[in-house]
Amino acid sequence: MNELQATTQDLVHRFGQYEIRSILGMGGMGMVYGAYQPSLKREVAIKVLSNPATASADSAERFRREAEMAARLEHPHIVPVYDSGTTGVGVHYVVMRYLPGGSLNDRLEAHRKGEAPLPSLTEVSTLLRQMASALDYAHKRGVIHRDIKPNNIMFDEIGNAYLVDFGIAKALTDAATAGGSMTKTGAFVGTPPYMPPELWRGEDWSAASDQYALGIVLYEMLTGKLPFDAGTIYELINQHLTLAPRPPHYVREELPEALTPVIERSLNKDQSARYPSVGALADAFQTAITEANLTRSGAPSGFFALPALPPPSKLAPNTGLGLLVPDTVTQVDAPRITGYQPPPAPKRSLWPLLVGLLAVLVMGGLGVLAVNSGGEAQSLAATLTGFYQADPFSASNLTATATTCLAVSGPNSAPAGQIAFLSDRTGLSKIYLMNADSTDLQQISSGESNEDYLVWSPSGLRLAYTATESGTSDLYVLSSTLDDPTTFGMMRLTENNFQDTTPAWSPDGRNLVYSSNLNGNWDIFVIDALVPGSEPTALISHPAEDINPVWSPDGTQIAFASNRDGNQDIYLVPVAGGVPRQVTDMLSDEGNLIAWSPDGRYLTFTSEQSSRDWDLYAIDTQAENALINLTNTPDVSEWFPIWSPDSLQLGYLSNQRDEADVVVQSITNGGRHSITARLESAPEYAYDWSADSRYLVYQSGSTDTADLYLTDVCGSLIEQLTDDPGYDSSPAWRPALGG
């Protein structure tokens, strides 16, 4: 192929023999362009590796593998590859069939907006059969896709479905035959809502993993909803690992109950218990709808009747093609938001600026400046040696830790305060409140839907959460008073047909920042949480997916995650509005677990950066985004840090025992120890600190039932707080009232 040509003098932008006519979107690793091939008079799609001039060797190799794998998979329902290669100036490309019918995700989005019905059961069966045929074909040739999702199922002009984007596909023999980084980076890949539980357990993908992801897509086509949907990546992982999907006929009453065992088997937590092939799943689904004998199961629904995309139109001669041109970087700035005033500076309290963050179960922070018992401040870097010390699960460490810990923390007093948590003991997931000694248990929420994502305000008088009363997630607040802190009034903050989720309190407890797809994309909004009927204000409005906002401790900035540069990175935007500033630029996604340090200087997060395991990182926002690696235990994932309210201890999760345990790291003496290793049960995922930093509450159980336990910071005390057949989860320790 000739060198890339893209000049303002050309009548058209050319890429060798192809005329570039439009930008179709962004794929897993690069831009996708609509083009025309004059020699064969056909429309094509050209995928080009993002930022080819600076692409890593791994990125280039993955891109080459995608082209190679897709080209050798010749199947009626796998997108055909026409050409691939690398130009003389280093631009990696692959030329594929142009699919004008859009994606399955386009149709599901149209349904969510009320513009299209869901498909009939026969239409679902037809699409399932096509995808099953494509996947079984690939699996028999030693290739697993590893990113099955609605965006990767596309249609031609007459509605035939095609599997696309083999950007992270993996040959089944790679683990045994290939070396180098390509075998080290494949553990946590894919799209979280569709990723199987074995991946979260640190196992590798298999053909059964592709079946699980397709089972998620199947559930979504049947109900219009995901079987596992949470406001945080932490709770999403927990659901994939522990919860059975809600039966489809509970979501849509007209669906036959016979579909439930089909869904449950395809989404079984155990790979070996799923169907022997994806084709077997398709057969079982067809059998279920045939036996149900629904008269309208095959009636055309109109779901697939969306108009096809028009052929790509020619670009103007002076259009910048950005990623097509080597050494060129195109920066897209979000518009400045006006009309929103930042909140007043937060009042200093006994534990200033921290409580609003610690109330969120999965969002803690690595404190850059932690005050030790002598009153001295020590830098974050000085604590690193503590993370690389001896095994926190060793018998000698577990025995010696209690004495050392008690010598520092002093004797235990009775745990104080209250704990909110979720429980489905009555059928729906509702909010409960109890004293820290498990007395005075009461249900404090009502309604006809499941509730999720509990986050206390800094004062401890208000509890924000999400609920799906109208079929989509909206924001609610339960409010109490200092005079009567156990009686709550409910206020609904949002009510629309879109998803409002991941609320976080401002440090002064006045506003909530959250993520919503209200404008068609996932954007960041701010709303007054104290005034009924308040209108939300868009802080970020951008075509990319902007999610998981977290308020800075001084109330002036919002950190959030965005995939606007291809990977999910962390950005900062002023609360007053403005252009976001990118603060991370790593090879993997790192925007799901954002947390500020107490002084607001550092952003901490979890990332799978250097190996197949998760480690803790911090970014110094005042030192040109300097990256600090906080944990790096070989073959062990460590994640979900939560700082104690006194800033002297860091809790996080570790799977060193092949299941999640809570580990506490001391900032003052450098020691770390497991506080849950003595509990021989299921993994411990959800946990939170007491307001006085002396206790932790955590969730432990099986896939069917879970209870809450209390332990002291030394791990010498374990008390079971709840004991019922329901699933008790997501404990949130109430901050000190009026703080």
Domain boundary among 98, 120, 135: 98
Tell me if residue 147 is catalytic.
Answer: yes
For residue 328, pLDDT beyond 80 = no
Residue with tokens 């997060």: 605
Tens of pLDDT, residues 603-627: 878 887 555 578 878 787 777 667 7
Tens of pLDDT, residues 465-493: 999 888 889 999 999 888 889 999 999 99
- Res 29: pLDDT: 56
**577 lies in some domain:** yes
**422 lies in some domain:** yes
**232 lies in some domain:** no
Q: Say which range, 102-106, 210-214, 505-509, 586-590, has the weakest mean pLDDT.
A: 586-590
Tens of pLDDT, residues 354-401: 222 222 222 232 222 222 222 222 343 343 333 434 455 554 444 444
Question: What's the CATH code of the domain at 6?
Answer: 3.30.200.20
**Residues in CB range of 310: below 8 A, 6 or more apart:** 100
Once rounded to an integer, what is the mean pLDDT over residues 553-571?
A: 87
Q: Look at the pTM and tell me if it is higher than 0.85.
A: no
**554 lies in some domain:** yes
Edge to edge, what strands does the sheet with 42-49 contain? 4-5, 13-15, 18-26, 30-37, 42-49, 92-97, 81-86
- Res 288: pLDDT: 92
Question: What's the CATH code of the domain at 658?
Answer: 2.120.10.30
Class of residue 508 by CB neighbours under 10 A (exposed 0-12, middle 13-18, buried 19+): middle
Domain of 556 in residue numbering reads as 359-733
- Res 133: pLDDT: 94
436 vs 519, higher pLDDT:
436
For residue 335, pLDDT beyond 60 = no
Confidence of residue 18 (pLDDT cuts 50, 70, 90): confident
- Res 374: pLDDT: 28
Tokens of 170: 């993996």
Domain boundary among 66, 98, 130: 98
Give phi and psi for 317, each to the nearest 5: -55, -30
| Number of domains the chain contains | 2
Edge to edge, what strands does the sheet with 546-551 contain? 546-551, 557-562, 569-574, 581-582
| Alpha carbon distances (Å) from 93 to 61, 74, 152, 612 | 12, 19, 18, 27
588 vs 515, higher pLDDT:
515
For residue 194, pLDDT beyond 70 = yes
- Res 340: pLDDT: 24
Confidence of residue 6 (pLDDT cuts 50, 70, 90): very low
**249 lies in some domain:** no
Most confident listed range (175-189, 406-420, 443-457, 599-613) = 443-457
Confidence of residue 438 (pLDDT cuts 50, 70, 90): very high
Tens of pLDDT, residues 659-701: 788 888 776 665 677 888 766 656 677 889 999 889 999 998 8
95 vs 441, higher pLDDT:
441
- Res 171: pLDDT: 53
Domain boundary among 65, 98, 131: 98
Round the CA-based radius of gyration of the chain to a whole number and report it: 26
Confidence of residue 161 (pLDDT cuts 50, 70, 90): very high
For residue 184, pLDDT beyond 90 = no
Which one is catalytic: 58, 83, 136, 147? 147
Task: Work out the percent of the chain whose per-residue pLDDT is above 90.
Answer: 28
